[in-house]
Structure 1
Amino acid sequence: MKFVRDTWLIFENQMRLLLRNPVWVLVGVFQPVMYLLLFAPLLRPALQVSTDAEAYEIFVPGMLVMLAIFGGLFQGFGLIAELRAGVIERSRVTPVSRLALLLGRTLRDVVSLVAQAVIITLLALIFDLRVFLGNLLLAYLMLALIALMTSALSYGVALRVRSEDALAPLMNTVAQPVLLLSGILLPLTYAPGWLQNVAEWNPFSWAVDGTRALFRGDLGAPEVWQGLAITAVLAVLAVVWAAREFARSVR
């Protein structure tokens, strides 16, 4: 019970800080909305689909995964600011669980990113996107696992490098191949065979395929459960590793 209470206290405090300055939620939505308005209309002729709804059914799930990946990977910058301000240092004298210090923050990030995903989905409905509510909730679960994994990784790396100058190029170096090899903007079915083979080793490509299957209403597609299983395992591993980094930094 103490661990749950500690996690809730950290989460509540982090959410309070976020809600005091909600502009960051809107900033996070801005880029995906620009893709939705300015890039997605190009997809119907490019993908040779018959309706705009089909094009958005392909594009919106990939964009939501992109939001979860990038939104999570860059959360470490806030932690570095807390390190510099002595917030993490002062945590040493508190009885709060070290794992709770991590989970409270990552859960805040998950809630923030899912809220942004809901906003983007509602906007996509204007463009005739249609998806079953149950499938949509399962897709949000996939996004939450991705956000949990990438956020935990970002915090762990931030504790290691302790510098924005090192974190920024490192995260960008990781994010670029992840983006290109996950079929976020265009399905990898249009890629040459060698590129599809390489992409199979990218766990995010499984998440994108699974999310697209949910949006098109194919709940029984193997990509859905494979994507959920892979992201869940990686999220647990990322949280365990990042928690160890917190334990080393706060003791």
Structure 2
Amino acid sequence: MNFLRETGLIFWSQLRMQLRNPVWVMIGLSQPVLYLVLFGPLVKSIAPALGPGTDPWKVLTPALVIQIGLFGSMFAGFVMVSELRAGVIERQRVTPARRSALLVGRVLKDMVVLIVQALVLVVVAMVAFSLRPNVLGLAAAVLLIAVMAAGLASASYALALWARSEDTLASVLNSLSVPIMLLSGILLPMSLAPHWLRIIADINPFEHTVEAARALFRGDFGNVQVYWGTGLTAAVALVLIVIGARSFARENA
């Protein structure tokens, strides 16, 4: 029970800080909305190449939700760097709170912010572009993406504890985020890519997350990508959370 209470305290502290400065949430949401408005018509024009009866908005929207999760969670470590500089982490070290609670509370905040952003983006797509996702599939897809974000945020916090500098953190994350995004098939499905590029993309676990989310949006629960993508996403997230927890334990030992 103490762990849950400590996690809740960290969660509410981080969430209040986020609510006092909501501009970053809106900035994180603005880019995917622009992609939806400006890139959506291009996807609509190539929809016949994706298969008969393909809804382009069910191809693009779940991918853009994942884009929010990727960038929002991967760059979460910048907050940690500022907290290290301000002495917040140092003060938390001397409290009896479990070190894992310091991480889990932050990660839960990142998941909640992502879910809110995802729902806003989906509502925009439903109102402006007549997106009609499967309701159960939508809930499952958002949950799947939140799990992915939990793993990435944990890794970002661990990296921030190691880097302790915005410059170092930015150089590492920028070198990773763009290839991951492009090889995830976020902008265009990797089924349109040449064979050699599809082979490389298959190594990227987040490409399978994207395909699973697209299948869930369609309500295609029997699609093998749903099971493969969900299992792989959960496994990668678990590994990254363990890495993050151990980093916090070492830092605060």
Shared topology, TM-score over 0.5?
Answer: yes
Give the corresponding residue for 2:35. Answer: 35
For the residues of structure 2 that align with 1:53 and 1:133, how far apart are their CA atoms?
Answer: 18
Give the corresponding residue for 2:144. Answer: 142
User: What TM-score results when the alignment is normalised by the length of structure 2?
Assistant: 0.95
* Count of aligned positions: 251
Letter in 2 for 1:12: W
Give the corresponding residue for 1:91. Answer: 92
Q: Measure how far apart 1:47 and its partner are.
A: 3.3
Q: Secondary structure at the match of 1:129?
A: coil
User: CA RMSD of the aligned region, Å?
Assistant: 1.6
Query: Residues 107 and 154 of structure 2 are in contact (CA less than 8 Å); yes or no, is this contact kept in structure 1?
Result: yes
Identity of aligned residues (%): 45
For the residues of structure 2 that align with 1:186 and 1:250, how far apart are their CA atoms?
Answer: 43
For the residues of structure 2 that align with 1:112 and 1:244, how far apart are their CA atoms?
Answer: 24
Give the corresponding residue for 1:45. Answer: 45
Letter in 2 for 1:143: I
Q: Secondary structure at the match of 1:220?
A: coil
Stretches of structure 1 lacking an aligned partner (at least 5 in a row)? none
Q: Measure how far apart 1:171 and its partner are.
A: 0.3
Give the corresponding residue for 1:218. Answer: 220
Give the corresponding residue for 2:202. Answer: 200
Deviation string for 1:80-120 (max 9, x for gaps)?
00000111111121000100000100110010011000000
For the residues of structure 2 that align with 1:44 and 1:236, how far apart are their CA atoms?
Answer: 36
Deviation string for 1:20-42 (max 9, x for gaps)?
22222211111011101111111
Correspondences of 1:1-251 after superposition (within 5 Å): 1-48=1-48, 54-126=55-127, 127-251=129-253
Which deviates more from structure 2 when the two are superposed, residues 16-25 or residues 167-176?
Answer: 16-25
Stretches of structure 2 lacking an aligned partner (at least 5 in a row)? none
Letter in 1 for 2:79: G
Query: Residues 53 and 129 of structure 1 are in contact (CA less than 8 Å); yes or no, is this contact kept in structure 2?
Result: no
Q: Secondary structure at the match of 2:188?
A: coil
For the residues of structure 2 that align with 1:53 and 1:218, how far apart are their CA atoms?
Answer: 13
Q: Measure how far apart 1:48 and its partner are.
A: 2.9
